[in-house]
A and B are shown apart, each in its own frame.
Chain A
Amino acid sequence: MIDFGQSKDFLSSLSQVSHLNFQIWDADEGMVFSSGPDELPEPAPEELQDFSLRIISSAAFQHIPLESGEGLFGVPLRNGQAVAGSLIAFGSNSLQKSLPETSTAPQPGRAEEMERFLNQVAEFVEDRLTIQQEMEQMAEELTENFEQLCFYSKIASRVKSIRFSGSMLQELVEELLDTMRTDIAFAKLPKRPEYNALVCTQKVPEKISDHDDFIDALIDSIPLNSPSLEEDYFIVNDSRTTPGFSDLAPEPYRFLAVKMKHNGNFYGWMGLVSFNFEEIFRRSELRLLDSMAEQIAVVITNSDLYRDLERFVINMVKSLVFAIEAKDDYTRGHSERVCKYSLLMAERLGFDEERKKILQWSSILHDSGKIGIPESILNKPWRLKDEEYQIIKNHPMKGHTILEPLEQLASSLPGMLHHHERFDGTGYPQGLKGKKIPLEARIIAVADTFDAITSSRAYRPAKAPEEALEEIEKVAGTQLDPDLVQVFKEVFTRDLAPELGCSPEKQS
């Protein structure tokens, strides 16, 4: 229904200062406004309704003379091109009584005057209506743009993170669904299915049982020679008229997808599906989707670069550690195994990624101080002299001194420095006791001890893993943290036993 409400006050005032009553009739709703008294002796409501219909159907000025007063006058009210109602005016009876007799008599030329006057009033009412409608439309447009702007700023702040995660994509796709008012929003990365994200509304037809399959089928159907692919997007404005897309769903749909691509690296498709044909995919939405996909591709690229770099650094360090271990025939691979056992324990203890990383560095580097120990001492097949043992005992401190300048490793140094502390406080270098020993160091101590027992040494052969576990349990509470020994035991049973049990190389 059309709201002529804005002009009601104006017509009421006009009625008060003139001897006219005004009414607005809506073509569908009937009378929507009356300036006059609620109860009119004349004209009757039915009469007015007929009169309004006459105006609307003729779309022109109408006039009916009445016995009392001047009669009924009316003009059509338009909404755009179409007649949407009528504006009716008639003499106000109450006022008439107070007026001199002469003025109530019908006057020649009165109808023409009234026609001109009412047309002007109608134009005024129509203009206000048009302005009102335009304003509402603009406000709606503005709201939509604002939504998109908000959405964009959200993405912008989110993609600042260097690390990419699957949940990040899931959240973005959820917001995409809300902002774009579609039925399915998705992101598909063929080579990284763990990042795939898909959300849909209730409007998706039930017959589409597997949404993932449906989206995969859509992506597979994108013709490779489509000209829009040069601009990295593909659109189906109507599946019924697009070859290759009409049979993919039981109901007609619209489909828009953009490539997630950066620097020539293609990661996958991001897109929308809608079953609502009252809307279309707009260029603004394409642009938004496109820049979002691009941003995501940038984050993935950066994330890959970061990971490559990180992997390069850790491999580099491993190489250096191998170089140190190469001096000692008996400890080859020791640091990497200690690292592995430590990380398995960290997993069991529920460490977050950050803390795991710290532990990874401490454990891989825990023996780096051995670089300063002469090979003659390291490889000595018999018991060490006291002063030689003092040199060996110095290795955690030495490692600490060597690595101290690397500020990125700062948080990993305590784990390394204290890995030879004993739980009872008789270890080195500082004789820390119990929980005062950093947790990372206590973990490494367990892993280190286990690997030392299961590896052969210059002065003794390797022992079987089960035996090593027994030995570790014997020193729980004295040398090692008993809680962590328990954790290691669980890790051993679950992860290591199957692997170590059939691995004879440890025996050699």
Chain B
Amino acid sequence: MENNKRVLVIDDEAHIRRVIELKFKNQGYHVITATNGEEGLDLIKSQQPDVVITDIMMPKLDGRALCERANELKEERPFLTIVMTCRISPTEKDWISQLQDTVFVEKPFSLQTILKCVDHYFGNQE
């Protein structure tokens, strides 16, 4: 099943990028990847993804800064952001809840959960 939705995966860990990429490709999504926040932000601007799945702890531009910049872009073109982290920080949920169309996922995650979350988002849109 082919669909024209574009998913951007931003994580500095290759194996994380790989598993998410595989899962979404198998579901017919178009997947692009970035290895740090800066590269990710450039791709958000140039490739206009429908979903951004990003880590928090990354070189160059961290996940929080990336999400906040992405949030400004969402005023013109809304898209879903999934933030994942393995770090335990009690304040993370607070800033994430302030952002538009942004959800929090614990690492390690269930790919099924992420996929459902994305499907749900598109389901609501249509």
Contacts and interface: CB of A to CB of B under 8 A. Distances in A.
Interface of A: 80, 130, 133-134, 137-138, 141, 145, 226-228, 231, 233, 235, 237, 256, 280-284, 286-287
Contacts of B19: 138
B107 interface: yes
Given A281-B87, A284-B106, A284-B108, 20 more contacts: A80-B35, A130-B14, A133-B14, A137-B13, A138-B19, A141-B15, A226-B90, A228-B90, A231-B90, A233-B88, A281-B88, A282-B86, A282-B88, A283-B86, A283-B107, A283-B108, A284-B86, A284-B107, A286-B88, A287-B106
A286 B107 CA distance: 11
B14 A137 contact: yes
B40 to A, nearest CB: 15
Contacts of B108: 141, 145, 283-284
B18 interface: yes
A226 B107 CA distance: 23
Interface string B12-43: 01110011000000000000000100000000
Interface in B89-119: 89-91, 106-108
A134 B13 CA distance: 9
A227 B15 CA distance: 33
Contacts of B107: 282-284
Contact of B90 (A133, A134, A137, A227): A227
16 contacts: A137-B13, A137-B14, A138-B15, A141-B15, A231-B90, A233-B88, A235-B89, A256-B88, A280-B87, A280-B88, A281-B87, A282-B86, A282-B87, A283-B85, A284-B107, A287-B106
A430 to B, nearest CB: 68
Contacts of B13: 137
A130 B14 CA distance: 9
A280 B86 CA distance: 9
Contacts of A141: 15, 108
B13 to A, nearest CB: 7
Nearest to A228: B90
A283 B18 contact: no
A257 to B, nearest CB: 11
Nearest to A81: B35
A305 B86 CA distance: 37
A233 B87 CA distance: 14
A233 to B, nearest CB: 8
A227 B106 CA distance: 18
Contacts of A282: 86-88, 107
Contacts of A256: 88
Nearest to B108: A284
Contacts of B18: 134, 138
A145 B110 CA distance: 13
* Best-surrounded residue of B19, B85, B87 (most CB of chain A within 10 A): B87
Nearest to A142: B15
Given A282-B107, A287-B106, A134 B88 contact: no
A243 B108 CA distance: 29
Given A235-B90, A280-B86, A137 B15 contact: yes
B46 to A, nearest CB: 19
B16 to A, nearest CB: 9
A211 B47 CA distance: 55
A233 B90 CA distance: 9
Contacts of B14: 130, 133-134, 137
The 3 closest A-B pairs by CB, nearest first: A228-B90, A282-B86, A283-B106
Nearest to B91: A227
Contacts of A227: 90-91
B87 A283 contact: yes
Nearest to A145: B108
* Best-surrounded residue of B15, B19, B89, B107 (most CB of chain A within 10 A): B15
Contacts of A281: 87-88
Contacts of A231: 90
* Best-surrounded residue of A141, A282, A283 (most CB of chain B within 10 A): A283
Contacts of A226: 90
Nearest to B87: A280
Contacts of A287: 106
A408 to B, nearest CB: 46
B52 to A, nearest CB: 20
A221 to B, nearest CB: 16
A415 to B, nearest CB: 56
B80 to A, nearest CB: 21
B89 A237 contact: yes
* Best-surrounded residue of B35, B89, B107, B108 (most CB of chain A within 10 A): B108
Nearest to A231: B90
Contacts of A235: 88-90
Nearest to B13: A137
A226 B91 CA distance: 10
Contacts of A237: 87-89
* Best-surrounded residue of B14, B89, B107 (most CB of chain A within 10 A): B14
Nearest to B18: A134
A358 B58 CA distance: 64
Nearest to A233: B88
A228 B89 CA distance: 9
A411 B106 CA distance: 53
Contacts of B15: 134, 137-138, 141
